[in-house]
A and B are shown apart, each in its own frame.
Chain A
């Protein structure tokens, strides 16, 4: 078992020093930004033009849904959000620290990333995980 939290997804980076961040892979040819490592760009088909970039911490809410029914054991309601990050990259995640009421959530609202424990979820070995969330900026 690891003595520190593991990243919930591969594109969440936890450096030994400094703050966690989300990593994108950007095509040097066309500028498309992907989550996760890859060597070929699916937009312009360039090969070996991808380089890792640190995604920005702020963005705008593109779309969302308030989820009232999920699988057993998952707390509802919560806000599932699609966020366009400033500087490129689209990320899906929970929007927290906001009332889960569709009337009170505005498209285009500014949000920022926050990094927190993954809702107490642990893997079979008992490891803890760090995840990312959005909150109103």
Chain B
């Protein structure tokens, strides 16, 4: 089977664009990725589009209506916060299967402000605040508190993750925010759901990201100059665990996908030079250091305390600023983190460049549950 390469990839600067449409926001990133690849929409043989908010509204086709209706097959994907990664993976699969040589993957989302999850619906009376909380800050707080229970992880350690990611974002012009956010500011921000303060929750933003994937044959034909090899693509759903249906288990799902990705790539966590992982909440990032094998179980707190996950550390995590400061447009996130890793592998990340990066990992997890992991390699 052919290796698959990312030939072009880009994202728009995340922000709030209430006056634009979802397809319009998606079209911008699609054109940027095409330009980055040096190709046009006429070269694309298929398109996979990830969007959650308008999952029933043919967003992919509407993007083509803005940038070129060539009649290619379009598949629209929705997979919670793994939506963008799923669209990318479907594009990868279609090339891996030998069906196409050049495929466009786009992720786009337009978000409102405010709390996600737990809004209720269903029969009878609203359940939020009656049977605990289904809001995302609470669900991920409960997952983090499980880590506190097992390993003594503190509020301050969780907060340090947010300090780190906000610091990283000061070097990323495409991040929603570029603001240094010291520990006392993070810890004294409004408490949303203990231990997650407002600054430990991802930012709801509008955004889009897109990638042009090509077969090895096509990459050689067009020149491998800035191409990045997709070394592994893994997607897992939540395997049965005892509490999963009451307390979504983001750990088991991530561990399953990570194991598959490492096996496919033939590498281990010690080989990875940078990671963009799903820091939807500061508590979530802590869990994934261990879930992705970046450290042993119980050592995640040490990873943040000792600076191993900062830019310049052993394995920098979320040098883009992460979802906490770059922002989290659900359907775009999975391709935006691929953009970030590719940018480092190409040596084009400027001030936040992870020096000598050869292998990078991206990770997203959507509750329900879907985990998408990609391992990317410098050519």
Alpha-carbon separation in the docked complex, A108 to B242 (Å): 17
- Report yes or no: B247 in contact with A121, Cβ–Cβ below 8 A: no
Alpha-carbon separation in the docked complex, A13 to B18 (Å): 46
- Report yes or no: A70 in contact with B129, Cβ–Cβ below 8 A: yes
Alpha-carbon separation in the docked complex, A107 to B144 (Å): 13
Would you call B243 an interface residue if the criterion is a C-beta within 8 Å of the partner chain's C-beta atoms? yes
Would you call B133 an interface residue if the criterion is a C-beta within 8 Å of the partner chain's C-beta atoms? yes
- Report yes or no: A62 in contact with B130, Cβ–Cβ below 8 A: no
Residues of A contacting B118 in the complex (Cβ-Cβ under 8 angstroms): 70-71
* 8 Å CB interface, A77-94 against B: 78, 80-82, 84, 90-94
Residues of B contacting A43 in the complex (Cβ-Cβ under 8 angstroms): 240
* 8 Å CB interface, B170-199 against A: 190-196
Residue from the list A67, A80, A90, A119 in contact with B243, Cβ < 8 A: A90
Residues of A contacting B141 in the complex (Cβ-Cβ under 8 angstroms): 65
Task: Say yes or no: A118-B142 contact (C-beta < 8 A), given A66-B193, A70-B135.
Answer: no
Say how far B261's CB is from chain A's closest CB, in angstroms: 24
Say how far A121's CB is from chain B's closest CB, in angstroms: 4
Residues of A contacting B191 in the complex (Cβ-Cβ under 8 angstroms): 66, 68-69
Residues of B contacting A129 in the complex (Cβ-Cβ under 8 angstroms): 124-125
- Report yes or no: B129 in contact with A68, Cβ–Cβ below 8 A: no
- Report yes or no: B130 in contact with A92, Cβ–Cβ below 8 A: no
- Report yes or no: B115 in contact with A9, Cβ–Cβ below 8 A: no
Q: How many residues on A have C-beta within 8 angstroms of the other chain's C-beta atoms? A: 42
Chain B contact surface mostly: loop
- Report yes or no: A64 in contact with B130, Cβ–Cβ below 8 A: no
- Report yes or no: B192 in contact with A68, Cβ–Cβ below 8 A: yes
Residues of A contacting B246 in the complex (Cβ-Cβ under 8 angstroms): 35, 82, 90-92
Residues of A contacting B253 in the complex (Cβ-Cβ under 8 angstroms): none
Chain A contact surface mostly: strand
Would you call A48 an interface residue if the criterion is a C-beta within 8 Å of the partner chain's C-beta atoms? no
Residue from the list B133, B143, B145, B247 in contact with A90, Cβ < 8 A: B247
Alpha-carbon separation in the docked complex, A122 to B377 (Å): 57
- Report yes or no: B146 in contact with A62, Cβ–Cβ below 8 A: yes
Q: Chain B 144-160, CB within 8 Å of chain A: the 1/0 string? A: 01101100000100000
Residue from the list B115, B142, B245 in contact with A70, Cβ < 8 A: B115
Residues of A contacting B124 in the complex (Cβ-Cβ under 8 angstroms): 6, 8, 123, 129
Residues of A contacting B137 in the complex (Cβ-Cβ under 8 angstroms): 69
B residues neighboring A (CB under 8 Å): 115, 118-119, 124-133, 135, 137-138, 141-143, 145-146, 148-149, 155, 190-196, 240, 242-243, 245-247
A residues neighboring B (CB under 8 Å): 6, 8-9, 32, 34-35, 42-43, 62-71, 74-76, 78, 80-82, 84, 90-94, 102, 107-108, 118-119, 121-123, 129, 131-132
The 10 closest A-B CB pairs, nearest first, are A80-B132, A65-B141, A74-B129, A121-B125, A107-B149, A66-B194, A80-B133, A90-B243, A92-B132, A43-B240
